[in-house]
């Protein structure tokens, strides 16, 4: 009996070592080429849709899409653990420097546009807010809906977590009103939720809640607000049309990054994304395509 | 031949034993290396006494106090729920339940331990949070208390199975002696068995708490993650674990923010180490 247990333990102890030495490295590449895509959670579904269509045409390609946040994707690209990084914000200067240090000369491609919708509970009578009002709400200066023309109800501000490109975009363009290095901060009382769905879920349940999400995630359970650059309007609601003609103030580019000039299948994939068919998928996935922009 | 094999096997097992210690040592070393790097540019006072966690501000603020209190509140809440429930459950399984029921209950508790934390978080966000919001008339159901309830469910299996072991390992003659002196079953349980098993009970509670304080996924989904100084259990809080998990993806490697997360990890490591030490001391106390 004891002997038997020892044998099992021995096998268990040695198995990781055996596993490592056998791991296939590169031998599968002869037949099919694996492309690792990583980054923005906003773009995961979009990337998946592109990948499925692309793989249907190129059976030799096998594309894996993972989320984790724009910063995660860029870090992975710099570390060489992914081929394409999807990002909903531009690379920071610090990250470009870090990439250079690691011998990576990154290329940026603008692949689609996303409009950020500001959302509230459907029962909320407030219909529109200016950027200044939004900034006051998210920095904690405005704490009750009656201060912006609503009911007497405390405001519950919801934000995405700090690893999200959407968070950074909202911080720079709404909370700091376009001044990227401005002094304004999200109030400590702002709830940081880990995903786009969590924001929709919480906004649809809490009457005092306000949050933001990419247009593609907005469902009928929440109400979208009109947003104006300056107090007094014009207030614009996020739609495909207003995002395309740039009248909606919270529209941001969605980007992909590669290390060096893309080659082989990676180049084919990016060409496909930028083609008419690739841009049609953008529209199907509720994002705004590039081409038609005024 | 047999001796050689015996020797070999002994050495391999010895090596495995040391490997565990080596891993802990290495983890601590790397954590300390990157965590302490924060203090080259940021004052330790600002980190340990600061009440604002604002890593994206200019200049950034890395005050750990709201995160520490967030973890503390969630953990205390979870302990308040899981310890009485766990003790009662363990006593029932160990002393009162008939044999057939005991087996069913033990299997059930073990199954509870097997539920992944993200599933508990998912159930919590869709079922528990709305109930808590409506019951206490709050603006949001994502509070420290919501996290505590979910974490209590994760701590209970640890507490119950260890505590049940402690209770059943109380020597049989203690119980028989007590009953022979005319004590009732209940008097025997709380005057004889529970005191005799007390060191095991303390250890099980400490390990349950250790499990709770290190939990990440469910807390991140349920506590709202607002880095305020918590005033009550019914407010959103941001725990240390959720902060590391949520912010690691965005930090630039080698930046101050990156080091600050390692520093938070170091604090967390110190806390769990202390908790395990207390549990271990409680267990050894029993053996004397």
pLDDT, one tens digit for every residue, chain B (288 residues): 788 899 999 999 999 889 989 998 999 999 999 999 999 888 888 899 988 888 877 788 899 999 999 999 999 999 999 999 999 999 999 888 898 999 999 999 989 888 888 899 889 988 898 899 888 888 888 889 999 999 998 899 999 998 998 998 899 899 899 999 999 989 998 899 989 988 888 889 988 998 899 888 889 888 888 888 888 888 889 999 999 988 886 677 778 888 999 999 999 999 999 988 888 888 777 555
Contact between chains at A201 and B125 (C-beta distance less than 8 A):
yes
Residues 138-177 of A with CB under 8 A from B: 154, 156, 161-164, 168, 171
Contact between chains at B9 and A98 (C-beta distance less than 8 A):
no
Contact between chains at B225 and A192 (C-beta distance less than 8 A):
yes
pLDDT higher than 90, residue A19: no
What is d(CA A46, CA A284) in angstroms, rounded to the nearest whole number? 9
Chain A positions in Cβ-Cβ contact with residue B246 (cut-off 8 Å): 161-163, 192, 194
- What pairing do the DSSP bridges indicate for beta strands A226-228 and A223-224? unpaired
Contact between chains at A202 and B142 (C-beta distance less than 8 A):
yes
What is d(CA A254, CA B259) in angstroms, rounded to the nearest whole number? 29
If you ran DSSP here, which 8-state letter would residue B60 be given? -
Helix B256-287 crosses helix B2-36 at what angle (to 10 degrees)? 130
Contact between chains at B58 and A183 (C-beta distance less than 8 A):
yes
As a 3-state breakdown, chain A gives helix, strand, coil percent values, each rounded to 5, of: 40, 25, 35
Q: How many CB pairs under 8 A join A and B?
A: 101
Chain B positions in Cβ-Cβ contact with residue A68 (cut-off 8 Å): 249
Contact between chains at B16 and A209 (C-beta distance less than 8 A):
no
- The pLDDT assigned to A9 comes to 52
Contact between chains at B56 and A6 (C-beta distance less than 8 A):
no
Identical fold for domains A33-113+253-284 and A114-251, yes or no, is yes
Q: Mapping DSSP to helix (H, G, I), strand (E, B) and coil, where does residue A151 land?
A: coil
Triad A162, A164, A170: Cα angle to 5°: 80
Look-up: residue for tokens 């565990």?
A: B20
- pLDDT, tens digit, 9 for 90 and up, residues A62-84: 899 988 778 888 888 988 888 99
Chain A positions in Cβ-Cβ contact with residue B252 (cut-off 8 Å): 71, 75, 92, 94-95, 98
C-alpha distances (whole Å) from B181 to each of B25, B175, B193 are 52, 10, 15
Contact between chains at A10 and B16 (C-beta distance less than 8 A):
no
Select the CATH number that applies to the domain covering A33-113+253-284 from these four: 3.30.230.80, 3.30.2350.10, 3.30.70.20, 3.40.190.10.
3.40.190.10
Closest Cα to residue A73, out of A39, A32, A31, A33?
A39
Chain B positions in Cβ-Cβ contact with residue A95 (cut-off 8 Å): 252
Of A68, A194, A202, the CB nearest to B220: A194
Name the CATH superfamily for A114-251: Periplasmic binding protein-like II (3.40.190.10)
On whether any CB of chain B is under 8 Å from the CB of A188, the answer is yes
Contact between chains at B56 and A162 (C-beta distance less than 8 A):
yes
Residues 79-108 of A with CB under 8 A from B: 92, 94-95, 98
Domain boundaries, chain A: 33-113+253-284, 114-251
Closest chain A residue to the Cα of B61, Cα to Cα: A185
Chain B positions in Cβ-Cβ contact with residue A192 (cut-off 8 Å): 224-227, 238, 246
Contact between chains at A164 and B133 (C-beta distance less than 8 A):
no
Contact between chains at A10 and B248 (C-beta distance less than 8 A):
no
Residue B236, CA atoms < 13 Å, CB-side half-sphere: 28
pLDDT higher than 50, residue A5: yes
Contact between chains at B250 and A71 (C-beta distance less than 8 A):
yes
Q: Residues of A141-157 as b/e, b for ≥16 C-beta within 10 angstroms?
A: ebeebeebebeebebbb
Chain B positions in Cβ-Cβ contact with residue A194 (cut-off 8 Å): 220-221, 225, 246
- The pLDDT assigned to A16 comes to 46
Specify the pTM.
Answer: 0.77
What is d(CA A92, CA A90) in angstroms, rounded to the nearest whole number? 6
Residue B173's contacts (CB-CB under 8 Å, 6 or more residues apart) are: none
Residue B183's contacts (CB-CB under 8 Å, 6 or more residues apart) are: B191, B192
- pLDDT, tens digit, 9 for 90 and up, residues A160-202: 988 777 888 899 889 988 887 778 888 888 999 888 888 998 8
For a pLDDT cut of 70, what percent of chain A falls above it? 88
Asked if A219 and A117 touch (Cβ cutoff 8 Å), the reply is: no
Interface test with B, best of A13, A79, A188, A210 (most B CBs within 10 A): A188
Of B58, B238, B249, the CB nearest to A71: B249
Asked if B165 and B200 touch (Cβ cutoff 8 Å), the reply is: yes
Of A183, A189, A206, the CB nearest to B228: A189
């Amino acid at each position: 009996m004891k002997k038997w247990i020892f044998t099992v333990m021995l096998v268990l102890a040695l198995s990781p070592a055996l596993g490592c030495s056998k791991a296939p490295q590169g031998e599968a590449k002869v037949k099919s080429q694996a492309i690792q895509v990583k980054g923005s959670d906003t773009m995961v579904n979009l990337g998946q849709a592109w990948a499925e269509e692309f793989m249907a045409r190129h059976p030799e390609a096998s594309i894996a899409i993972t989320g984790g946040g724009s910063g995660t994707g860029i870090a992975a690209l710099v570390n060489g653990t992914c081929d394409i990084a999807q990002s909903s914000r531009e690379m920071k200067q610090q990250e470009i420097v870090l990439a250079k240090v690691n011998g990576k000369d990154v290329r940026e491609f603008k692949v689609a546009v996303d409009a950020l919708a500001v959302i509230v509970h459907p029962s909320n009578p407030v219909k529109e807010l200016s950027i200044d009002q939004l900034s006051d709400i998210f920095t904690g200066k405005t704490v009750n809906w009656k201060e912006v023309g609503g009911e007497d109800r405390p405001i519950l501000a919801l934000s995405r977590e700090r690893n999200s490109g959407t968070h950074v975009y909202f911080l720079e363009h709404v909370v700091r009103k376009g001044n990227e290095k401005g002094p304004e901060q999200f109030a400590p009382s702002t709830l940081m939720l880990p995903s786009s769905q969590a924001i929709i879920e919480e906004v649809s349940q809490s009457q005092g809640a306000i949050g933001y999400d990419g247009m593609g995630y907005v469902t009928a359970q929440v109400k979208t607000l009109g947003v104006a650059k300056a107090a007094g309007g014009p207030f614009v609601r996020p739609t495909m049309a207003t995002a395309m003609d740039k009248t909606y103030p919270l529209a941001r580019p969605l980007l992909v990054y590669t290390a060096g000039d893309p080659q082989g299948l990676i180049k084919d994939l990016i060409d496909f994304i930028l083609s008419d068919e690739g841009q049609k998928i953008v529209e199907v996935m509720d994002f705004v395509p590039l081409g038609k922009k005024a | 031949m047999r001796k050689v094999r015996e020797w070999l096997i002994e050495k391999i097992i010895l090596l495995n034993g040391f490997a565990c210690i080596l891993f802990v040592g290495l983890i601590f070393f790397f954590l300390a290396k990157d965590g302490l790097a924060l203090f080259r540019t940021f004052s330790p006072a600002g980190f340990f006494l600061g009440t604002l966690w604002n890593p994206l501000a200019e200049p950034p603020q890395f005050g750990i106090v709201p995160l520490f209190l967030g973890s503390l509140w969630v953990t205390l809440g979870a302990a308040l729920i899981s310890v009485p429930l766990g003790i009662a459950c363990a006593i029932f399984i160990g002393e009162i339940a008939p044999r057939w029921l005991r087996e069913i209950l033990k299997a059930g508790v073990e199954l509870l331990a097997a539920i992944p934390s993200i599933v508990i978080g998912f159930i919590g966000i869709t079922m528990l949070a709305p109930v808590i919001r409506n019951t206490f008339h709050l603006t949001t159901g994502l509070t420290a208390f919501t996290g505590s309830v979910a974490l209590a469910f994760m701590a209970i299996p640890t507490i119950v199975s260890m505590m049940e072991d402690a209770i059943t390992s109380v020597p049989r003659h203690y119980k028989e002696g007590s009953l022979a002196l005319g004590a009732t079953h209940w008097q025997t349980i709380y005057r004889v068995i529970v005191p005799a098993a007390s060191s095991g009970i303390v250890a099980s509670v400490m390990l349950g708490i250790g499990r709770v304080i290190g939990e990440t996924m469910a807390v991140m989904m349920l506590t709202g993650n607002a880095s305020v100084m918590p005033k009550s259990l019914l407010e959103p809080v941001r725990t240390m674990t959720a902060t590391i998990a949520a912010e690691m993806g965005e930090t630039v490697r080698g930046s101050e923010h990156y080091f600050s997360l390692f520093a938070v990890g170091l604090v967390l490591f110190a806390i769990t180490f202390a908790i395990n030490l207390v549990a271990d001391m409680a267990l050894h106390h029993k053996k004397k």
